[in-house]
């Protein structure tokens, strides 16, 4: 086999459409452009999405604003000052949800260090800020990560 013997596969190539070469060609007279209107004239081009003066479909649709992350896990947040007001020795997410101090849809508890605490409380949470952990342990409590 030589380079000059290579041919394209049968049916993979075909002759270009010869428009405007007489009625017998099948593409004569109007050259596949129809009889009248903007598309039939030379120099025809309009913007992407143009629908002949009708309001384009992309402008008919409402605008989407933002998006919602369906995998986001909500966490309840509580400050050290709020912990000091509770009448219990151990605090966790379940306790706060039962007493309506945290959202029922929360899956994690975050303890933040705003305020002061004087009594010893054992806290079980997913996250503690540095200052919150220091304040709880200074008061004689335990800060346990669950």
pLDDT, tens digit, for every residue of 106-143?
999 999 999 999 999 999 999 999 999 999 999 999 99
Q: How far apart are CA 15 and CA 5, in angstroms?
A: 21
pLDDT in tens, 31-62: 989 888 888 888 888 888 888 889 999 999 99
Q: What local confidence, expressed as pLDDT, does residue 132 receive? A: 94
Q: What local confidence, expressed as pLDDT, does residue 136 receive? A: 94
Helix (H) or strand (E) holding 79: strand 75-79
Contact 143, 133 (CB under 8 A): yes
Q: % helix / strand / coil in the chain, to the nearest 5?
A: 25, 15, 60
pLDDT in tens, 56-99: 999 999 988 888 888 989 999 999 999 989 888 999 999 999 99
What are the C-alpha distances in Å from 101 to residues 15, 31, 71, 104, 116? Answer: 78, 76, 24, 9, 18
For 57, what's the count of Cα atoms within 13 Å in the CB-facing half-sphere? 3
Q: What local confidence, expressed as pLDDT, does residue 64 receive? A: 85
Length reported for the chain: 146
- Tokens 């151990």 appear where? 90
Q: How far apart are CA 72 and CA 96, in angstroms?
A: 21
> In the chain, what are the domains?
75-145 (3.100.10.10)
pTM of the model: 0.54
Contact 83, 76 (CB under 8 A): no
């Amino acid at each position: 086999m030589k380079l000059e013997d290579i041919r394209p596969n049968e049916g993979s190539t075909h002759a270009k459409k010869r428009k405007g070469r007489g009625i017998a060609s099948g593409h004569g007279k109007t050259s596949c452009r129809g009889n009248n209107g903007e598309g039939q004239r030379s120099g025809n081009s309009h913007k992407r999405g143009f629908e002949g003066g009708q309001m384009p479909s992309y402008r008919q649709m409402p605008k989407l604003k933002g998006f919602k992350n369906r995998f986001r896990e909500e966490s309840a947040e509580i400050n050290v000052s709020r912990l000091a007001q509770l009448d219990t020795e151990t605090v966790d997410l379940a306790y706060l949800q039962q007493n309506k101090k945290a959202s029922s849809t929360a899956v994690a508890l975050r303890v933040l260090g705003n305020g002061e605490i004087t009594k010893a409380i054992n806290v079980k949470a997913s996250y503690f800020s540095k200052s919150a952990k220091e304040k709880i342990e200074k008061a004689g409590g335990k800060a346990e990560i669950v």
